[in-house]
Amino acid sequence: MKGKVFVIGLGLIGGSLAMAVRHAHPEAVIVGIDLSEKNIQLSRLLGIIDDSVSSLEAGACDADLILLAVPVNETVQILAKLAELDLKRDVLISDAGSTKDKVVKAAGPLIDKGVAFIGGHPMAGSHKSGAGAAKLHLFENAFYLLTPDETVEEGKIEQLKEWLIGTRANFLVVTPSTHDRLTGVISHFPHIVASGLVKQAETYSKENELISRLAAGGFRDITRIASSSPEMWRDILLHNRDVLLVLMNDWLKEMENVKELVENEDSEEILRFFKDAKTFRDDLP
């Protein structure tokens, strides 16, 4: 496809999306903006973008596709600013944020103006940040959830998929609230647990420095995601508050249950706890 693509946020996700768009649509012109001069320079150097701009207006007003890949609180603010601009009538706007309910609500003024906003979340990533970590194949075979407002025509969704075909991701359309519940369970809440485990190890490492040296293997595996951007995760928790509060309560009940089994030395039920978890884990695709 030809046209101008404006990428807002040239980090891991924005950079990777831009690479995928460039790969599938070499004739498109890709322009980017970022608060970080380093990420702009890197994006230019790596050929991720053709050009950069220093204001939203300069990048957005003649864009055919606008992709937002900034932390979700920034997304909300930028969507409000975009709604005040004189955009192309048939512009497509999507984002890559990890939460969708608040983001799609924030796109309300744009949608009211007749702009096609399609929430998006490529379900792949890394604990690394910045344009230097961007990869063309980051989203290959991953699910890419789309949460279009009901006013968005089917043709516009197909057009967005066509723009993003270079991601080689599997697109799935869900509602914003379904998205937030699903990702709360399989991504956001596990993230809290991973960081909680690291904090617990940190506390115990004060009494014995061997903790840090021994924290290898399994501990490293299940806590890898705790190295992700703290700002990004702060925003995700604040956005998905209601879902996460329910999940935290459920988790506390589950932990109380395990605690009771251990207190009672209930060997049979402890075995069942691990067997049930193993069965579900082994059956995951």
Task: Give backbone dihedrals phi and psi of 248, rounded to 5 degrees, phi first.
Answer: -65, -40
Q: Who's near 235: CB < 8 A, 6+ residues apart?
A: 71, 72, 73, 74, 99
The least distance separating ligand NAD from the CB of residue 163, rounded to whole angstroms, comes to 17
Return the ∠ at Cα 84 (arms to 79 and 85), rounded to 5°.
Answer: 95
* Cβ at position 150, least distance to ligand NAD in Å: 23
Question: What DSSP letter does each residue of 158-176 carry, written as one string?
Answer: HHHHHHTGGG--EEEE--H
Q: Closest distance between ligand NAD and the C-beta of residue 169, in Å?
A: 11
Rank residues 6 and 64 by Cβ distance to ligand NAD and give the closer one: 6
With respect to ligand NAD, which residue has the nearer C-beta, 88 or 128?
128
Min dist CB 53 to ligand NAD, Å, is 11
Residue with Cβ nearer ligand NAD (97 or 166):
97
Nearer to ligand NAD, 37 or 209 (CB): 37
Q: Based on CB atoms, which residue is closest to ligand NAD, 125 or 166?
A: 125
CB atoms under 10 Å from CB of 216, counted, come to 9
Q: How far is the CB of 30 from ligand NAD (least distance, A)?
A: 15
In the bound state with ligand NAD, the residue whose beta carbon lies nearer, of 141 and 200, is 141
Residue 90 is given by DSSP the state: T
User: Which residue intervals of the chain are DSSP H helices?
Assistant: 12-24, 37-45, 56-60, 72-83, 101-106, 108-112, 154-163, 176-183, 189-205, 210-214, 217-223, 230-239, 241-263, 267-283
Q: Please count the other Cβ atoms lying within 10 Å of the Cβ belonging to residue 281.
A: 8
Tell which residue, 82, 87, 90, 89, has the closest CA to residue 109: 82
Please give the residue ranges that form the binding site for ligand NAD (CB under 6 A). 8-14, 33-36, 39, 69-72, 74, 78, 96-98, 121-122, 125-126, 129-130, 229, 232, 236
Least distance (Å) from ligand NAD to the CB of residue 31?
13
